Amino acid sequence: MRDSRETSLTKAFVTGFPVKHSRSPLIHGHWLKQFGIAGSYEAVEVAPADFATFIAALKDGSSGFAGGNVTIPHKEMAFALADEPDELASELGAANTLYLRDGRLKATNTDGYGFLNNLDDRAPGWDANKNSAVILGAGGASRAIIQALRDRGFGAVHVLNRTEARGQELADRFGPRVHAGPMAALAERLSGADLFVNTTSLGMDDSDAIDIDFTAMRSGALVTDIVYVPLITPILMQAKAQGMKIADGLGMLLHQAVPGFEKWFGQRPEVTPEIRALIISDMEKH
Ligand code: ATR
């Protein structure tokens, strides 16, 4: 239960640096309107040097926020400054969702939840076979996905990264089912794999074009990309041309927003074709 002070707070935020490109206000604004909730969700740009002050004002209630989302570069600081990070955020060392409960600042990370729910929604049955997954990239987004796939029960999660040492750090962090390797191992790892996930900007400009042969993956395997601008990335285009099943990354953004909205505003929203269309039309405008 929320305490009485929190019940009167119906304001939430997304903070980052920069934050003006965030589509989260559009998503939460849509749900607020849909539920007829008298609340607000606003983008608040906070420079790294001011982040601790911002969190202090959140904790003591003076900012008037019930909580909010945190994006780059504040996710690690948000985790460190929270009173009660949950297990997911603690293992990642990063939080993207903050909320006040009984005067305490709680923190979680919903990126992995968003990733899994997007695939459950857009590619039902995608995890019927989960012997092995291949993830390209070892940045912040990759971590949450490694954690999510491990927790969904994948037998092996292979992290291939340009800087192999970064991949190795993640293998060490997430346990024996997670393995690091060089980009050169891609073809070998893809052979028989059930899932391929791109978390890098590779292929987005001509200077780093990449050719991947997905055809040796298990029949019926899925290829997905967490980059969602453009919706069908060069990697997804290649996979599709090779007859692979694909899922774009837009739903990860939509689904990761669900738990936060429920915590701040008390209603659990749904990711519908309507909200997906709303974001796609916004992407076409900018
Ligand atoms: P995010 O938090 O969004 O995941 P990041 O932490 O900057 O972003 O990570 C970007 C990832 O894309 C990294 O794995 C990076 O590889 P390095 O660890 O070697 O830097 C990868 N990446 C970006 N551009 C790349 C390129 N041109 N070729 C190969 N990998 C690239």
Q: What is the pLDDT of residues 194-224, one digit of tens each?
A: 999 999 988 777 677 789 999 999 999 999 9
What stretch of H or E contains 178?
A: strand 178-181
Say how many Å lie between the CA of residue 79 and the centre of ligand 1: 22
Pocket test for ligand 1, best of 143, 201, 225 (most atoms within 8 A of CB): 201
Listed residue (94, 30, 74) closest to 258, CA to CA: 30
Cα 286 to ligand 1 centroid, rounded to whole Å: 24
| CATH number of the domain that residue 233 is part of | 3.40.50.720
> How would residue 22 be classed by pLDDT, with cut points 50, 70 and 90?
very high
Active site residues: 75
Instruction: For residue 54, report the distance from its CA to the centre of ligand 1, in Å.
Output: 29
232 shares its domain with 155: yes
In the block, residue with structure tokens 């050719």: 211
CATH number at residue 62: 3.40.50.10860
Of 192, 109, 96, the closest CA to residue 146 belongs to: 109
Domain that holds residue 124: 113-248
Total structural domains within the chain: 2
Does residue 6 carry a pLDDT above 50? no
* Model pLDDT, residue 71: 97
Asked if 131 and 213 sit in the same domain, the reply is yes
User: In angstroms, rounded to a whole number, what is the distance separating the alpha carbons of residues 63 and 57?
Assistant: 5
Token pair for residue 15?
Answer: 């903070």
Least confident of 5-9, 32-36, 198-202, 258-262: 5-9
**Distance of alpha carbon 164 from the chain centroid:** 22
Report H helices in the chain.
4-7, 24-35, 51-59, 75-81, 87-92, 111-122, 140-152, 164-174, 186-190, 234-241, 250-256, 258-265, 273-285
